[in-house]
Structure 1
Amino acid sequence: MKNMRKLAALVLAASMAAASLAGCGKTAETKEVREETGTKAEAGTKAETSKTLKVALCLSGAANDMGWCQAAYDGLKLLESDYGCETAYTENLTPDDIEAAFADYAANGFDVVIGHGYEFGDPAVEVAGQYPDTKFIVTEGEVSAGNVASYVTKCEEGGYVMGMLAAGMSKSNKIGFVGPIQGASLVKIMNGFEDGAKSVKPDIEVQTAWTGSFTDTALGKEAAQAMIDNGADVIGHCANESGTGAINAAKEGKIYATGDSYDQNGLAPETVLSSSVYHIPKVIEAAFKTVEEGTFAGGIYELGMKEGAVSIASYHELEVKIPDEVKAEIEKKVSAITSGEFTVPCDTKVR
């Protein structure tokens, strides 16, 4: 946090994420899933596909948050419509509720249980040992077991580009970024945002705050407002539903914001410049197909822009307000990331 008088009280729950952090720069056992979702684990044989598979999804927030959780819910609905799965979901789970939710679904015969977020990692491993016939999938996790696999989205790539956009649009040379609960999968986005901004303007001031909540929009708004009061004229976030509050603060302050996880322009059409979009349905489908095809194996799998799992939303009607040189620089960087010419630094240390 940088010269922020209101934000000290917001660092409420960093310790909650000390375990089960999703990182990057993984060990040699990390595997990469290609765009066609064709890189399968070697283990396993072709499964019978006549059975209707039961798939459950566990969420830390609301399924209609127009962000992180809704992206996963869209993936669940894809499995229902395209693969005929029987589906169920539970939303707004606290860390204390996760194990019980996992165990309940497994005990009720669900073939696949998905935990959407790094915080579901350790509970998945704990419960998986009791239910060996259930496959557990964790997004943004850093865990694996015989029946547990983690699928990590390279969200730092989107964060980097949103940082470039924020810096390119800032006139005060001060921008802000709001995160929820500290965890490596979120820290890497915040750090990516700062790195991207400084690649455009090395001397720009990036103010940061953690709200301690995935769902409290009031805390997100308060954190962003403190930054606005301190001169920030563009606000970014990776704070799930809490980030909606940050967008609302930017809207009321008549400044710009960037979205996260989903195209969030609809939340504030005159405010949200663009969004880092995580194509979680694609990630969930890639993971599910290994179960359907009988090739599931525990491991950690990574997908980013190159694989089509991360992209940047359109500028909508705000496009005319974004200078051509800013758009051109962003387009060039996205192309370099996608081709592999440029690798976004993946820094999971809190700065």
Structure 2
Amino acid sequence: MNRRTLLASAAILAAAPAFAQDDPVKVGFIYVGPIGDGGWTYEHNEGRLAVEEHFGDQVETVYQESVPEGADAVRAITQMALSGADIIFTTSFGYMDPTIEVAANFPDVVFEHATGYKRAENVSTYSARFYEGRAIQGHIAGAMTESNRIGYIASFPIPEVIRGINSAYIHAKKVNPDVEFSIVWAYTWFDPAKEADAARALIENGADVILQHTDSTAPQAAAQEAGDVITFGQASDMAEYAPEPRVSSIIDNWAPYYIDRVQAVIDGTWESQDVWYGIDQGMVEIGEITDAVPEDVREQALEMKDAIAAGEYHPFTGPINRQDGSEWLAEGETADDGTLLGMDFYVEGLSGEIPN
């Protein structure tokens, strides 16, 4: 997702009023999928529950699930603000413009938009460096595929998703030069039927590893049905499919951020900001790597995780060329955040075009 530009001027600061101890803060959440999706929305809702557990009667939380991106989001966010919410978390990229629109009409409410890049005096943005987890998944996938064909179910052709594809491919290719990626664009974040169909099509085309940037567990179920196909949990652990087909996962841990931002509202210290956290800060976690993964591959994956966390390794380290063969990163050069945040190209070796 073309989330933000880190070269932008410093965000304008806005302080929310402090709340009396007996005046609970109303915390709202807008979700793109159902809270039981087992992936993206599930983990955001786990963050909401963590807020309730941490603050007790200091807060009241409300949420609306399965809100479509676009005009419906404007209505849902507006209604939540009218209901007295003091802080509202809007948790999908397509909520960016609706959040900015509603925030302009409610200057006394503060908003937190997940994965976007537009900010205002009362709007912050936050996201996670999912591409770090994709590198680890790519390493495992490249080492474990027997057909050398890896399927990737992509949601929308936005920079976040493209970054993930590139990161996974680079690291699969490092461990297995013969690997090929087949990418299916689902044009949805959550549609179990469509995700299952995409997984089955990839498997029928020879893929024995399925990666996904969609939210449901349907690809896991399709792989389990097919047999001899491995998968990775997306956004959530999806551990009900372990030890196979799900051999590991990327887990989004939003709870510490949500608690921190609600505390800032309570204290009257909330400020508009932009954060992009990764494995180091714990916003991106790697789920258990099961015994289905060979021991040496597991150790290599965990070493990569530790190196990323320590700042000793960047998943986009040259030499890396663009898809057309032109140089992107020279030997030892690492990608800057500005390029990553606006990524709109495949790296060399990936086939096909990125849809408009």
TM-score interval (norm. to shorter): 0.7 to 0.9
Q: Which amino acid aligns with 1:23?
A: R
Name 1:8's counterpart in structure 2. none
CA contact (8 A) 2:28 2:80 kept: yes
Are 1:294 and 2:268 counterparts? yes
Q: Which amino acid aligns with 1:280?
A: W
CA contact (8 A) 1:29 1:299 kept: no
Name 2:32's counterpart in structure 1. 60
Deviation at 1:186, TM superposition (A): 2.7
Q: Against the structure 1 CA distance between its residues 154 and 24, is the aligned structure 2 distance closer, same or farther, given a 3 Å change threshold?
A: farther
Q: Which amino acid aligns with 1:26?
A: L
CA contact (8 A) 1:153 1:310 kept: yes
Name 1:38's counterpart in structure 2. none
TM score, norm. by length of structure 2: 0.83
Name 1:48's counterpart in structure 2. 19
Q: Against the structure 1 CA distance between its residues 220 and 344, is the aligned structure 2 distance closer, same or farther, given a 3 Å change threshold?
A: same
Are 1:341 and 2:312 counterparts? yes
1:137-286 matches, cutoff 5 A: 137-241=112-216, 244-254=217-227, 255-267=229-241, 269-286=243-260
CA contact (8 A) 1:118 1:142 kept: no
CA contact (8 A) 1:143 1:150 kept: yes
Once the two structures are superposed, residues 37-61 of structure 1 have per-residue CA deviations (whole angstroms, 9 ceiling, x without a partner) of xxxx976488235120001111110
CA contact (8 A) 1:260 1:277 kept: yes
Deviation at 1:304, TM superposition (A): 0.7
Are 1:126 and 2:104 counterparts? no
Instruction: From 80, 94, 114, give the equivalent of 2:68.
Output: 94
Give the Cα separation in 1 of the matches to 2:125 and 2:15.
17
Name 1:307's counterpart in structure 2. 281
Give the Cα separation in 1 of the matches to 2:103 and 2:17.
22
Once the two structures are superposed, residues 170-189 of structure 1 have per-residue CA deviations (whole angstroms, 9 ceiling, x without a partner) of 11111111122333233322
How many residues are matched?
A: 317
1:96-111 matches, cutoff 5 A: 96-111=71-86
Name 1:330's counterpart in structure 2. 301
- Match of 2:44, SS state, is helix
Once the two structures are superposed, residues 281-319 of structure 1 have per-residue CA deviations (whole angstroms, 9 ceiling, x without a partner) of 22322332332222222221111111111111113xx41
Unmatched runs of 5 consecutive residues or more in structure 1: 1-20, 32-40
- Match of 1:57, SS state, is strand
- Match of 2:105, SS state, is coil
Q: CA RMSD in A?
A: 2.1
Give the Cα separation in 1 of the matches to 2:138 and 2:79.
41
Once the two structures are superposed, residues 230-250 of structure 1 have per-residue CA deviations (whole angstroms, 9 ceiling, x without a partner) of 211110111012xx2222221
Are 1:70 and 2:45 counterparts? no
Give the Cα separation in 2 of the matches to 1:204 and 1:273.
19
CA contact (8 A) 1:118 1:185 kept: no
Give the Cα separation in 1 of the matches to 2:9 and 2:247.
38
CA contact (8 A) 2:142 2:148 kept: yes
CA contact (8 A) 2:54 2:259 kept: no
CA contact (8 A) 1:259 1:265 kept: yes
Q: Against the structure 1 CA distance between its residues 29 and 174, is the aligned structure 2 distance closer, same or farther, given a 3 Å change threshold?
A: farther
Give the Cα separation in 1 of the matches to 2:194 and 2:145.
24
Deviation at 1:111, TM superposition (A): 0.2
- Match of 1:261, SS state, is coil
CA contact (8 A) 1:224 1:250 kept: yes
CA contact (8 A) 2:14 2:121 kept: no
CA contact (8 A) 1:163 1:194 kept: yes
CA contact (8 A) 1:29 1:300 kept: no
CA contact (8 A) 1:71 1:279 kept: yes
Q: Which amino acid aligns with 1:313?
A: G
Q: Against the structure 1 CA distance between its residues 73 and 173, is the aligned structure 2 distance closer, same or farther, given a 3 Å change threshold?
A: same
Name 1:27's counterpart in structure 2. 7
Give the Cα separation in 2 of the matches to 1:59 and 1:45.
24
Give the Cα separation in 1 of the matches to 2:261 and 2:185.
30
Q: Against the structure 1 CA distance between its residues 45 and 235, is the aligned structure 2 distance closer, same or farther, given a 3 Å change threshold?
A: closer
Give the Cα separation in 1 of the matches to 2:104 and 2:25.
20
